[in-house]
Amino acid sequence: MSLFLVFACLAHAKSVQDFDVRPGNSPQINKINLQKAIEWASARGATLFFDPEVEPYHIDGGIVLKENVSLKGVHGPTPRGTSHPDKNQPVGSVLKITDRRAPFITVESATQIKGLQFWYSDQTIDDPSAVIPYPPTIQVSQVKAAQGIYLSCLTFYGEYVAMDFNAQPEHPCELMVFEHCYGYPLSGEFIRMDYVYDVPRILHCHVNPAIQRFIGGQYPPAIVDAVIAQKSFAYAINHTDNAQLIDLFTFGTYGGILLGGESYGQLTNFNFDCVTIGIHKKGNSTKNRNWQIAQGSIIANTGDKIQDIHPILIEGQGHTSLTNVEAFSGANAALTTVAENASWDFIKIQGDQKLSVSVFGSRMRDYISDEPATITNEKAIVQFVGCIDKDEMFYNRTFE
């Protein structure tokens, strides 16, 4: 987009400061005035703009982003943090959150949030016993169906759950887009979605504990270990049709991605680093509970014991196709890894229902078991073609 078009778009945005939403206000006043601004914008389909400032906009939670409203700031994603000249805090279009009672903002249909930083200033970055379990930063509406929500170029500092799109079954949502979002949720959950129908997209998102390097430093291993102990997944989806997941990264969470039993779609170009389970795929039917997974790497090296560590775990029904997926392990000083600095296997397939798995051109190494596949499901049909095992030998095998 040309600079002319950028400035033209901003010229048609209304500053939140015109509604007396300002860095110097109390969080209660800013919440009241921002909600009034949203009401004004909803009837017009307008954009509200957070002017960049040296100090953040301190705002209480419980905001409802009504239909047709866009909230925008100046930023692309800022994964290491913008840097105040005198203090360890971000600058720019920064929303400061200290409210522990309610999700910060609930989104309705035809809404957009782009170019903002969310900063939990009271959150610890070095004491796992002092972690504050904040409500989600962004939550989908729980009282009405929400369609067409666009979340882009967002960065989270100190959040517990970043984006909660677990909708109610009676109020499902659809056509969600998450792109270029960065953070490190201290619950281990960055994006979770349930009852999200019709092609949700998660694109180019990054979870990494080094997120606050410029405004507070690297998270110590004790914090990362505490996140892994939550046994949650950075990304989780269920009751979801045709999900499109491209270019996803996570570091130092128990799980990379959970593909629930009522989901199907494609996952491509990913890296799940320092996890216990990289991909956990389930399936509740044979018709369309199938996943095509390609072009990724998994480093599984942490957990209670090595027998629990599986780059890929599959159960239930349906088919899984894995193409060019590499798994390896090793030590990492940013967290506690198992003594063996390895995984138990490359893939574990469990359960008692018929399922099928195809693995093509995958590099499998640094696992302890004799075989790269642990298969406890006697009804599983599994084929490896053109793969390389831990001994750097071709691995071509069929289990049926």
Residue 289 CA to residue 263 CA, distance in Å, equals 6
Q: Could you tell me the CA-to-CA distances from 266 to 79, 241, 249, 324, 382 in Å, in that order?
A: 26, 10, 15, 14, 19
Task: Determine the Cα–Cα distance for residues 206 and 156; give it in Å rounded to an integer.
Answer: 11
Distance between CA atoms of 300 and 282, rounded to whole angstroms? 19
Q: Phi/psi at 163 (nearest 5 deg)?
A: -130, 115
Does the pLDDT value for residue 6 go beyond 50? no
The whole-angstrom distance between residue 111's C-alpha and the CA centroid of its chain comes to: 19
pLDDT surpasses 90 at 8: no
Amino acid 295: pLDDT:
98
pLDDT in tens, 39-75: 999 999 999 999 999 999 999 999 999 999 999 999 9
Confidence label for 211 from pLDDT (cuts 50, 70 and 90) = low
Mean pLDDT of 129-158: 97
pLDDT at 309 over 50: yes
Q: Is the pLDDT of residue 4 over 60?
A: no
pLDDT of residue 31: 98
The model's pTM: 0.95
Helices (H) then strands (E): counts for the chain = 3, 27
pLDDT in tens, 234-283: 999 999 999 999 999 999 999 999 999 999 999 999 999 999 999 999 99
Distances (CA, A) of 294 to 95, 121, 228, 297, 377: 37, 38, 25, 9, 24
